[in-house]
Structure 1
């Protein structure tokens, strides 16, 4: 869930927008999201492409959504029968809305942590994940830091798939040699890539 500068007030905690689940058991469900500075869901177009890429791997997967925001990626994964999703979100009201949306969906195989993602990932992983979403705030060098922590603290299962969404002007992303880039596309201000971890 990337964040970009926006003219809207960061003090607003009203549910003023919606995120739509594209496919799966909650197909076409619309869920409220808060009007918070810099929060924006990954667009439907990008999500549709991403989940086409993941179509053969999502069912039964353990998913880590590192900068969850609206929950667009994590909720889409759960709708498509991911086994479990851990969502990390720094902004308290956004995390609370995510918890409420999970309750609305009667989803009991997800957890929302109201934490700083880098601090969370700096801890050794108790259990690895199969699919990881890295969609951090733009222009804060967070993608590289997140990639390093995922590797250093064993957050990746063998053959894990890692989705990284960044601002388009970041033409190069530093990743380990054992991350194989499978896909890359550009959509407006966004560049998104899919890697596979090969230990």
Structure 2
């Protein structure tokens, strides 16, 4: 796995091999990650990355958040409760020399608790496939002030997620066994 764009382009990330199914590590492939960022940067909805506060839920290796950082995001908060994931994540943050602009939080993404700071502008949601954890995480994020007005949510799953009250679907694409859904908070 490598960073595919921005100022860290070409940076090789810590090797996970085929992933760690016991730890629910299933890295987003370079191809899917490139497609996600093409949708974000070139979509008709405006590029949400420059200067963004990014929340990477079920962060795993951190590849999505680090890719956003490479492309101009201001700060990234990584959330994962897995020991193996956090170890890889810390290695990747060090490789990217991003210690000053990242936070790593050990917590359950489905039970975020109250956000004490401003909401996040760009949220990556890459839960273990087919377990309903994405729905729980997005409900927790919405209920506890983690999502800024006008934020972009990128949800990666094995199938199209159900509609979520309060969010509108902007785009949806299928890449092999992965479905990428872009969502935004509905405007009143």
RMSD: 1.6
Spell out the pairing of 1:30-69 with structure 2 (5 A cutoff).
Answer: 30-34=12-16, 35-37=19-21, 38-55=24-41, 56-69=47-60
- Which of the residues 68, 72, 76 maps onto 2:67? 76
Q: Compute the displacement of 1:198 (Å).
A: 3.2
CA contact (8 A) 2:62 2:92 kept: no
Q: Compute the displacement of 1:58 (Å).
A: 0.4
Instruction: State the partner residue of 1:21.
Output: 3
Which structure dedicates a bigger proportion of its chain to strand? 1
Q: Compute the displacement of 1:59 (Å).
A: 0.9
- Which of the residues 131, 155, 161 maps onto 2:122? 131
After TM superposition, the score normalised by the length of structure 2 is: 0.87
Instruction: State the partner residue of 2:137.
Output: 146
Q: Compute the displacement of 1:134 (Å).
A: 0.7
After TM superposition, the score normalised by the length of structure 1 is: 0.82
Instruction: State the partner residue of 1:118.
Output: 110
User: Which blocks of at least 5 consecutive residues in structure 2 are unaligned?
Assistant: 42-46
Alignment: residue pair count: 177
User: Which blocks of at least 5 consecutive residues in structure 1 are unaligned?
Assistant: 1-18
Q: Compute the displacement of 1:104 (Å).
A: 2.3
Which structure dedicates a bigger proportion of its chain to helix? 2
Q: Compute the displacement of 1:80 (Å).
A: 0.6
